[in-house]
Structure 1
């Protein structure tokens, strides 16, 4: 693995979060790209088998496999030519029994302008992390990533300001290819529109305090029917199911990686009553919060 994290931060929810180490990148820019391999390690406080959270993007292009890697409590198996895209805020875990070979790209939020962020879908958490390009798509991604790596390592040809500008353009070209692949990987090639995008962003911001579809519709200025149609077209789910999945994910993160009492976990995701939280969690996972926590300890 690449030397992605130099230190861990303890978030307010108790989950170890590792920041992007600007000081380790060539020239101190907001990205890194280089080889994966057994000669590199994570921070000593984050063993490979420990789940932790990152506040930056990681894209791994595998040169060998199979490799097993957990992202947000789902195990993915990647092989040569596959890519794994982990976004800020997601929890993940490396497999201590897998050999990671290939190229890894990391990027600090804020390195690219907002227009590029929107165009490349950097925060499309509804898209799958594991991507399997066809031969033509893989060739394009490898060429684009190779060009990005050459520009990243070339610190002598251009002044720093121009070097960073070229990096941003090269990174954008790679991410546009990657975003096209990610969008194409949706099970029925669904397209999201601005209605769903606004809803998705509102849920990400407010899921801990707002579980009401009608409240989101009113706040966004849509009818409930319009919201249902947009969310179903983009994800195949109802708005209520989309909200519930986000709440369950956060509850799992807190149960697995903090020592918060179950009642406080429930309160943190919008359930002041512990019994109601336990009922909700069991309904969506077929496990009680206590059993889920025990199985991961």
Structure 2
């Protein structure tokens, strides 16, 4: 991991393996993470997947705090703002990888999801398989550079992802209409805020699209789009410390006033007030 610059208090991290520049998967222990971590807020351009063996701690991902405990998993996707709040007593391993590393269709689809669960407990029945898949990946990652296959770590990462069984995966991927909608929203939410655009682009009636989204998420299609825009706005306000005018420009609103009305309706607070509250909560100057 390498720091590429600072935007206010957030540390931007880019994927760069320390020794094997061609590798798309890197592993480390929580001991190593403690050496590198200064308790600050981070955002990376790669995935962070962790398996906790023992201990208790906490992690904040996009303004939500999650408890870390024995036999649990952590998944931080690229772009998510996160902070390791308390990992002093946590043991286990982290796997860092680029979005294209998984080799199977199912795991690549899973990795591409914009709404991954940040933390979940690993079922007792699944633990032996997760542990074996994790250890096999660690063993392969420790091979001498000259003996390292560029394919094996990716294959073993896919096995680990499949064995971890993220709890959100089955419902999300079993509905093809929602899958298409989710992917399209992630690609275009900054420019297109209306359900009609996505319905036309995907070839479905707006009612059909909304029904599919509600079936999977419990939210309307419009609500899903609003939630995605709000999350990005919160990231820009809290961590990049941007003005309402700049947020409006980046998120496809005609002006700061229009964005402010949208944000206040969605969150109950004007952008400036939310930004100030976030600064106090996170101890920012």
**SS across alignment from 1:164:** coil
**Of residues 271, 292, 297 in structure 1, which corresponds to 2:253?**
271
Equivalents in 2 of 1:118, 1:94: separation in Å? Answer: 26
> Given that residues 190 and 251 in structure 2 are in contact (C-alpha distance below 8 angstroms), is that contact kept between their aligned partners in structure 1?
yes
How far did residue 99 of structure 1 move?
A: 3.7
**Which stretch has the larger CA shift, 215-224 or 193-202?**
193-202
TM-score if structure 1 supplies the norm length? Answer: 0.84
The structure-2 alpha-carbon separation of the partners of 1:10 and 1:205, relative to structure 1 and needing over 3 Å to count, comes to farther
**Of residues 5, 10, 19 in structure 1, which corresponds to 2:14?**
19
Superposition pairs of residues 174-253 of structure 1, within 5 angstroms: 174-178=160-164, 180-183=165-168, 192-253=174-235
State the partner residue of 1:137.
Answer: 126
The answer as to 2:19 corresponding to 1:30 is no
How far did residue 148 of structure 1 move?
A: 0.9
How far did residue 219 of structure 1 move?
A: 1.1
Superposition pairs of residues 106-145 of structure 1, within 5 angstroms: 106-113=96-103, 115=105, 117-119=107-109, 121-145=110-134
Structure with a larger share of its residues in strand: 2
> Given that residues 58 and 107 in structure 1 are in contact (C-alpha distance below 8 angstroms), is that contact kept between their aligned partners in structure 2?
yes
Q: Could you list the per-position Cα deviations for residues 181-235 of structure 1 after superposition, in whole angstroms to 9, with x for gaps in the alignment? A: 3336x8xx56542221111111111111111101110011111122112111221
How far did residue 32 of structure 1 move?
A: 1.2
Return 5+ residue gaps in structure 2 as ranges. Answer: 280-285
TM-score if structure 2 supplies the norm length? Answer: 0.88
The answer as to 2:92 corresponding to 1:102 is yes
The structure-2 alpha-carbon separation of the partners of 1:25 and 1:172, relative to structure 1 and needing over 3 Å to count, comes to farther
**Of residues 241, 250, 264 in structure 2, which corresponds to 1:282?**
264
State the partner residue of 1:6.
Answer: 2
The structure-2 alpha-carbon separation of the partners of 1:128 and 1:40, relative to structure 1 and needing over 3 Å to count, comes to closer
The structure-2 alpha-carbon separation of the partners of 1:67 and 1:97, relative to structure 1 and needing over 3 Å to count, comes to closer
How far did residue 8 of structure 1 move?
A: 2.5
State the partner residue of 2:47.
Answer: 57
> Given that residues 37 and 99 in structure 1 are in contact (C-alpha distance below 8 angstroms), is that contact kept between their aligned partners in structure 2?
no
> Given that residues 15 and 254 in structure 1 are in contact (C-alpha distance below 8 angstroms), is that contact kept between their aligned partners in structure 2?
no
State the partner residue of 2:135.
Answer: 146
**Of residues 260, 264, 275 in structure 2, which corresponds to 1:293?**
275
**Which stretch has the larger CA shift, 200-209 or 255-264?**
255-264
Equivalents in 1 of 2:217, 2:19: separation in Å? Answer: 36
State the partner residue of 2:282.
Answer: none
Equivalents in 2 of 1:169, 1:132: separation in Å? Answer: 24
Pairs aligned (count): 279
Equivalents in 1 of 2:157, 2:63: separation in Å? Answer: 29
The structure-2 alpha-carbon separation of the partners of 1:60 and 1:195, relative to structure 1 and needing over 3 Å to count, comes to same
**Which stretch has the larger CA shift, 206-215 or 282-291?**
282-291
Equivalents in 1 of 2:108, 2:78: separation in Å? Answer: 15
Equivalents in 2 of 1:249, 1:278: separation in Å? Answer: 14
